[in-house]
């Protein structure tokens, strides 16, 4: 078991730094869209959230004060904690506090969340039980460990979590688009909402997309084997990590999927073996001598902590098995509260079981108060149904893209009207001499078919609002 679940403390510390950087940059992006996503009168106003977006067991303290300064303060504290984690200051104390603040932030607005947020939250959870502040940190200035290798229940839990992400992501891809047809990547790249320029080039090569679809499945199925099995050491493990890094970078260059690629790479950094780190250090500093042991030793965990981690890992495994529906596994209802409170619930169904095929773009048709003219407030120009050259560029960032994607679902249509009000009010506040009296939000729906074909374009009214008119 030592050989399977051994991690290098230096690699673990580098993973901590990487995760900290991602948190810092993500929080800065959230600050940029504070009014829309966290403001009292934003696109997801506090009063609306209190009535529609709360879930059982999902705690948060963002609703304690109904004023904009409160969530702004909480975001600032969250950012400060992320900086402390990055620099490794009081890591064992900061990590659980940061985990709590991250969950509270995610629960304030679930409409902008995706799988990357789940992955980040879970890595923070397992990190609470790991000594990932032993190197490259403020904490390590006083004393560094005499050994690099570490084996514990916590390292096993972290490594299994990473394996779960790949394995269950593959197991949930059950539609014929993945196998045997191999058209999943074609349909994914048919989604102009997430297709990047390199993805546009790849989209022209149908047979290549088939090969890459099957290759994606193979990589996800094989990843747990090469990351966990004891025969995979040294160069072989680094080769597996390199393939996975290349896989995530390639995905990020073709599809607009937020921080998922970066978080996945950071998680893989923790798997870098000691032998690779030693060889790298010798090349950087040929004269340096290693004065510490490379032998892995068990990390002293309290038996209660170990028992708790084993229970959490088993709960995560059962939850993932339940999601696949391949075998008859159901997590007892009595344990759901425990899983939801700790947010161990996870779903790795990206493009699974089949790829979402409803593509399109937004048109926000506004009637001006003064001239009664009609414009698209996204461009400030007359309304046109011509498809933008790059639909993905019509979104400020991936948070906005995910939010607008969620507004399309029928079960989330209750959230459309607050968005309409936010857009109308934001425009009128910024354009005093060009006021809007009525706004209609349309979606130009374009369903993808095989063979580079689509169904007839459909203009769908999502919602409308106005100063004097009734809201629809």
In which band, very low, low, confident or very high, does the pLDDT at 469 lie, cut at 50, 70 and 90? very low
d(CA 264, CA 270): 11
Phi, psi angles (nearest 5°) of residue 238? -65, -35
Same domain, 400 and 327: no
Helix (H) or strand (E) holding 446: strand 436-449
Same domain, 38 and 128: yes
If one counts the domains in the chain, the total is 2
Instruction: Say if 146 falls within a structural domain.
Output: yes
d(CA 400, CA 397): 6
DSSP letter for each residue of 242-257: HHHHHHHHHHHHHB--
Instruction: Say if 353 falls within a structural domain.
Output: no
Instruction: Say if 300 falls within a structural domain.
Output: yes
Same domain, 336 and 366: no
Same domain, 62 and 116: yes
End position of a domain, from candidates 309, 341, 373: 341
d(CA 217, CA 419): 38
Range of the domain at 449: 358-466
Higher pLDDT, 166 or 63: 166
User: pLDDT, tens digit, for every residue of 427-452?
Assistant: 999 999 899 999 999 999 999 999 99
As a whole number of angstroms, the longest Cα–Cα distance in the chain is: 79
Q: Smallest Cα–Cα separation from 392: which of 250, 187, 191?
A: 191
User: pLDDT, tens digit, for every residue of 84-135?
Assistant: 999 999 999 999 999 999 999 999 999 999 999 999 999 999 999 999 999 9
d(CA 141, CA 392): 45
Contact, 23 vs 66, CB < 8 A? no
Same domain, 368 and 246: no
User: pLDDT, tens digit, for every residue of 139-194?
Assistant: 998 777 778 999 999 999 999 999 999 999 999 999 999 999 999 999 999 999 99
End position of a domain, from candidates 310, 341, 372: 341
User: pLDDT, tens digit, for every residue of 277-335?
Assistant: 999 888 887 765 545 455 555 566 788 999 999 999 999 999 999 999 788 888 988 89
Same domain, 225 and 321: yes
Contact, 265 vs 248, CB < 8 A? yes
Instruction: Say if 315 falls within a structural domain.
Output: yes
pLDDT, averaged across the chain: 92
Same domain, 365 and 334: no
Instruction: Say if 346 falls within a structural domain.
Output: no
Integer angstrom CA distances of residue 117 from 26, 278, 402: 10, 33, 12
Tell me which residue has tokens 């993805």. 199
Same domain, 235 and 203: yes
Same domain, 148 and 38: yes
Q: What is the pTM of this model?
A: 0.94
Instruction: Say if 431 falls within a structural domain.
Output: yes
Same domain, 324 and 409: no
Instruction: Say if 348 falls within a structural domain.
Output: no
Phi, psi angles (nearest 5°) of residue 307? -65, -40
Q: Tokens standing for 70?
A: 């409160």
d(CA 103, CA 121): 7
End position of a domain, from candidates 289, 315, 341: 341
Instruction: Say if 118 falls within a structural domain.
Output: yes
Q: Is the bond preceding residue 353 a cis peptide, omega within 30 degrees?
A: yes
Same domain, 422 and 307: no
Same domain, 312 and 385: no
């Amino acid at each position: 078991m030592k050989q399977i679940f051994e991690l290098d403390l230096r690699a673990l510390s580098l993973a901590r730094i990487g995760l900290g950087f991602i948190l810092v940059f993500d929080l800065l992006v959230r600050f940029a869209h504070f009014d829309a996503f966290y403001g009292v009168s934003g696109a997801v106003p506090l009063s609306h959230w209190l009535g529609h977006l709360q879930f059982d067991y999902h705690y948060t303290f963002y609703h304690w004060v109904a004023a904009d300064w409160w969530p702004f303060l909480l975001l600032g504290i969250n950012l400060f904690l992320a900086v402390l984690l990055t620099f490794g200051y009081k890591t064992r104390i900061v990590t659980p506090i940061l985990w709590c603040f991250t969950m509270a932030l995610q629960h304030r607005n679930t409409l902008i969340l995706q799988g990357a947020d789940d992955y980040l939250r879970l890595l923070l959870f397992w990190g609470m039980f790991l000594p990932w502040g032993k190197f490259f940190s403020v904490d390590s200035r006083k004393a560094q460990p005499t050994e690099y290798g570490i084996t514990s229940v916590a390292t096993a839990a972290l490594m299994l979590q990473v394996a779960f992400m790949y394995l269950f992501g593959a197991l949930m891809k059950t539609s014929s688009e993945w196998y045997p047809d191999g058209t999943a990547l074609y349909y994914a790249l048919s989604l102009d909402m997430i297709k990047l320029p390199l993805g546009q080039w790849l989209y022209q090569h149908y047979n290549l997309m088939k090969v890459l679809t099957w290759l994606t499945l193979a990589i996800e199925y094989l990843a747990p084997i090469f990351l966990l099995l004891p025969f995979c050491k040294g160069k072989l493990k680094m080769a597996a990590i390199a393939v996975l890094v290349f896989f995530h970078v390639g995905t990020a260059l073709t599809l607009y999927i937020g921080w998922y690629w970066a978080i996945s790479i950071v998680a893989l950094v923790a798997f870098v073996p000691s032998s690779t780190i030693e060889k790298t250090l010798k090349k950087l500093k040929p004269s340096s001598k290693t004065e510490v042991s490379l032998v892995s030793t068990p990390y002293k965990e309290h038996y209660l902590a170990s028992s708790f981690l084993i229970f959490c890992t088993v709960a995560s495994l059962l939850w993932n098995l339940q999601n696949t529906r391949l075998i008859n596994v159901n997590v007892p209802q009595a344990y759901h509260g425990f899983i939801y409170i700790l947010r161990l619930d996870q779903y790795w169904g990206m493009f699974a079981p089949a790829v979402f095929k409803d593509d399109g773009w937004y048109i926000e048709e506004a009637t001006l108060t003064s001239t009664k003219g009609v414009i698209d407030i996204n461009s400030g120009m007359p309304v046109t149904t011509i498809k933008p050259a790059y639909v993905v560029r019509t979104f400020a960032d991936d948070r906005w893209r995910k939010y607008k994607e969620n507004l399309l679902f029928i079960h989330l249509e209750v959230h459309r009207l607050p968005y309409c009000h936010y857009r109308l009010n934001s425009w009128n506040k910024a354009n005093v001499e060009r006021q809007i009296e009525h706004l209609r939000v349309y979606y130009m729906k374009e369903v993808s078919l095989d063979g580079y074909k689509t169904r007839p374009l459909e203009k769908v009214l999502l919602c409308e609002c106005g100063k004097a008119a009734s809201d629809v």
